[in-house]
Amino acid sequence: MIKNDIWIAKMAQKGMISPFEPDLIRKVQKDTDLGGRPVISYGLSSYGYDIRLSSAEFRIFRHIPGTIVDPKKFNPQNLEPTPLHKDIDDSYFILPAHSYGLGVALERLEVPGNITVICIGKSTYARCGIIANLTPAEPAWRGHLTLEFSNSSSTDCRIYANEGVVQLLFLEGESCAINYETRQGKYQDQPEIVTLARV
């Protein structure tokens, strides 16, 4: 069963999502704003939670002649850090056309033992050609999610830091015999930096 806003808010008070925004934020106030500055929404929705992209780090895959991306022997040189850009109101990373990038969630998760969390893309980015990979956070997983984005468009695209970037859906199942923590999963307790592929 998919969990609703009441359950998500209750579990967030117990530490499931931190920091937690109990409303769906579409505008933020700044000292000079009268009506608020529009943002890509984040926070609690009816049956999910929109997490934000951290400004801490964003990396883009670059072609380096003679190298192959191998998930069993991941070469960090295939990922290039990209700078955080700022203008009057916003902080953002640029994901070049037809490229792939990795970011990290601002929020830290502590997934309950009978819940699987699915990340899905937000329609605002999907309409710009940005595809967020569907990735699960398994029962009893903890940490900051590494987020994967593909720019399928023929133009560069901004991805805004500290604004909504993907939605989390919380699916309840019967308790499992072995959860992510008891199996000592390799991505447990990820910090707020991009975590590379591990075997």
* Per-residue pLDDT tens digits for 93-110: 999 999 999 999 999 999
Catalytic residue selected from 57, 148, 181, 192: 148
Q: How many CA atoms lie within 13 A of 176 on its CB side?
A: 16
Distances (CA, A) of 167 to 41, 102, 136, 187: 10, 16, 12, 20
109-142, pLDDT tens digit by residue? Answer: 999 999 999 999 999 999 999 999 888 999 999 9
pLDDT exceeds 60 at position 31: no
Domain 5-172 of CATH type 2.70.40.10: yes
Predicted TM-score (pTM) of this structure = 0.91
Q: Is 148 a residue of the active site?
A: yes
For residue 79, give both structure tokens.
């990922």
pLDDT at 64: 76
pLDDT at 34: 65
Name the more confident of 34 and 161: 161
Q: What is the mean pLDDT of residues 160-170?
A: 97
Q: What is the mean pLDDT of residues 143-148?
A: 96
Name the more confident of 66 and 149: 149
For residue 64, give both structure tokens.
């380096």
Residue ranges per domain, the chain?
A: 5-172
From 111, 81, 89, 106, select the one nearest 166 (Cα to Cα).
106
